[in-house]
Structures are given as C-alpha cells and as structure tokens.
Structure 1
Amino acid sequence: MADGGGPQRSRLVVLAGPTAVGKGTVAACVREQHPDIWISVSVTTRPARPGEIDGVHYHFISDAEFDRLVAADGLLEWAVVHSAARYGTPRAQVEERLAAGTPALLEIDLQGARQVRQSMPDALMCFLKPPSFEELERRLVGRGTEGPEERERRLRTARTELAAESEFDVTIVNTDVETACEELVDLFRSGISRPPG
C-alpha cells in the first residue's frame, strides 16, 4: 500500500536463465501485454540477427562505444557472452525508471544478473528454466540462428547456467510463453521479496 508521500521507488525484477530458454520471447510478451512495465533495452556488440531492430531488441553498438560506456561506469552490468560479443545494461535508464516509480524488468544473462545482485541487492532475481534440457536443445536447434559449432558451445554453457538456479529468489518454468509471462508479471504485483541474507 502506498504511503501517499510521493512516488515509491518501484520494483526491479531481473529475468535470467540459460541460453535459448526463451527470455527474449517472455520479455516480448510482457512488453506487448503489460506496457506499464518498462523493459530495459541492452546494448550489445554483436550484429543484429534477422528481424531484430536497433533500439527495440538491442542497441547495437561498436566495441569502441562499449569501451566508453564501461570506462564511464555507464553500465549497471556487462559481460562477454559465449566467448564472443559483449552485452550490457545502461545504468541511467534503469535508475531513472525506478526513481519515477515505474516497474522495471531486466532480461539479462547469468553473469549480468550476478552483477546486478551486487549493485542493486533489493532486485528480485527470477530464473527462467526450460521444462527439460532436451526441450532447451530442441529450441536452440529450432531457432536456426547458430551453426553447429556455436550451438554446441551454447549447449555447454547452458548446462553450467542451469546449475545456477539456486542463486535466484524465484524460478519460473517456461513450458508455455503466455503462462511464464503472467507468472513474471505477478512478481511485480505480489509481495514476494528477496529473502534476507
């Protein structure tokens, strides 16, 4: 319940999970069906995939621009993902939205989630997991955006990433995108908070 003394600092939910689990698809569902929830758009040094739009899916930037953001402490978190491209979350955007009382969602990788936990310990950490490893593998093959070598690297990474579930406050199993989306949105409205310690 609001105390009536101006806007409250709003909830930050961090959605992370293994590669190809459907984080982007679930976040897109939230964006479409719950426009009141602001979703951070990450920066990345990787090239756009077919159908991706700069500023909507990611901000596609150069290595030099990424270096400038890191040097200026302009990223809330950043990481090298799959031994290739760098990804990061612009700090100012997140802080501005939270200060304005807007619920905010970060859809990021596991390394980034760990960094956010350090810098914003009140954030609610949500782990998105597949119904099974076999289903994760099927989704990765099915999206057809990686060659066989890249796919194998991502699957090796996913095995390690799945073991991190215990680091998170809440787990959502992505059996169905709509259901996972609604479970995620419920976290903004529920009283669930980070366990102490």
Structure 2
Amino acid sequence: MKGKLFVLSGPSGVGKGTVRAALLKEYSDINYSVSATTRAKREGEVHGREYFFVSVEEFQEMIKNDELLEWAKYCGNYYGTPRKYVEEKLKAGEDIILEIEIQGAEQIRKKFPDGVFIFLAPPSLNELRLRIQKRGTEDETKISERLETAKIEMEKMYNYDYVIINDVVENAVEKLKSIIIAERCRIENYIGLKEGDFNDG
C-alpha cells in the first residue's frame, strides 16, 4: 500500500513548525520532510532539523536540477521541498508530512491530488501579528508585509480538505492527530487488499 501524504500549510507565523514538532514527538510512524530555504537561521534552529539552510545559488541549482517537488519565493526568501526523500518514503508505503508555504501547497496539490491538505489558521490576524512580533526576527516593515500576505492566503483556506484553528497548540495537535487517524482508516486504503495484507497501521 502506498504511503499517504499529509500537507500542513498556513500563513507565516501561525505556528506550523510548533504544531508539527509537537505531533512528531507523539507520532513516530510518520516521516517529516525537511524543507530547504534561503532565509537566515533563527536562534535555536539546526541545519537539517528545521530546514536545510542553503544559499540562493545552491537553491537555484536545486531548481535547475529538478531536485525540488515544489518551491516558492516568499517575503524575499526561497523555500522548497526536496523531491527524493518524499518519493522514496511514499513508494515504500510510509506516510509523510510536509510543512510548507501556501504557494508550495498549491504546487503539491497538482502533483499529489490524493494528498491530505490541512490549513492551519490563526484565531485572528491581530493574534498573528502578536505571534510574529514575539518571534523578534522581523522589523515592523517585514511584519506588515507578512500580514498583508496572510490576508490573501486566508482566502485560500477553502481549497483545503481540513482547517485547524491554532488557538492552543495542544488542541491543534489533537485535531491534527484525529485527521491522520481518520485518513488512515478510509476504506479506499483497503480496496484490493487480501485478508493477510491487513495490519493495524
């Protein structure tokens, strides 16, 4: 049985990384595909864990060599999903989760229409501003730019399969877990399988 692709997306600052990291602490049977980015590393981030931090030249070389499933330029920085890891895990029957920007999710939808697309939304734009300010990594100009982008991105929420309001991280993680469990139980996952093929995964 082919693995299932889960795509977690939403505006910058909504808490995608926090929710994803909390999920992976509890779910050891789902793989996380680390994205590549040209943005500067933030305090506490580790190359290869949060992102593969690369130069603009390196990123453009990855685009040229068709090494990315999707990529986008967002607020002056490039972001993209390395192709090889995702394709290998899905082919091996393993589930994988991507944490990506809205533009990237739109590209992935075209290549993986049977993927599960989950939109992580803030309780309000004002709360989103507070979260970005608390991060302390952008000046007011950048924050305003991100909020303007977020307003446009919120309108794309209706293109997704599920929406989770990230008010309290623990609640958001529980909802994400519920979606994963439900999707793994869908009847189409079992069509064509014989009795001996069933497992509790």
Specify if TM > 0.5.
Answer: yes
CA distance in 1 between counterparts of 2:88 and 2:173 reads 24
Deviation, structure 1 residue 186: 2.1
- For 1:5, the equivalent position in structure 2 comes to none
CA distance in 2 between counterparts of 1:15 and 1:70 reads 22
Identify the match of residue 67 of structure 1 among 60, 68, 85.
60
The answer as to whether partners of 1:11 and 1:104 remain within 8 angstroms in 2 is yes
The answer as to whether partners of 1:78 and 1:87 remain within 8 angstroms in 2 is yes
- For 1:33, the equivalent position in structure 2 comes to 26
- For 1:48, the equivalent position in structure 2 comes to 41
Give ranges in structure 1 of 5+ residues lacking alignment: 1-7
Give ranges in structure 2 of 5+ residues lacking alignment: 187-201
Deviation, structure 1 residue 52: 0.7
The answer as to whether partners of 2:18 and 2:169 remain within 8 angstroms in 1 is yes
Task: Tell whether 2:87 aligns with 1:95.
Answer: yes
Read off the aligned partner of 1:59 and give its amino acid letter.
Answer: F
Deviations 1:51-82 (A, max 9, x none): 11000010011222211211121101000011
CA distance in 2 between counterparts of 1:27 and 1:131 reads 18
Deviation, structure 1 residue 11: 1.0
Structure 1 residues 149-188: aligned runs within 5 Å: 149-188=141-180
CA distance in 2 between counterparts of 1:31 and 1:81 reads 26
Give me the TM-score of the superposition, normalised by structure 1.
0.90
CA distance in 1 between counterparts of 2:4 and 2:182 reads 10
Give me the TM-score of the superposition, normalised by structure 2.
0.88
- For 2:9, the equivalent position in structure 1 comes to 16
CA distance in 2 between counterparts of 1:68 and 1:143 reads 31
- For 2:195, the equivalent position in structure 1 comes to none
Deviation, structure 1 residue 185: 2.1
Structure 1 or 2: more helix by fraction: 2
The answer as to whether partners of 2:118 and 2:164 remain within 8 angstroms in 1 is yes
Deviations 1:92-121 (A, max 9, x none): 101111111221100000000000001111
CA distance in 1 between counterparts of 2:140 and 2:128 reads 15
- For 1:4, the equivalent position in structure 2 comes to none
CA distance in 2 between counterparts of 1:145 and 1:62 reads 19
Count of aligned residue pairs for this structure pair: 185
The answer as to whether partners of 2:125 and 2:147 remain within 8 angstroms in 1 is no
Aligned residue for 2:176, secondary structure, equals: helix
Deviation, structure 1 residue 23: 0.5
CA distance in 2 between counterparts of 1:17 and 1:31 reads 18
Deviation, structure 1 residue 28: 0.8
RMSD: 1.3
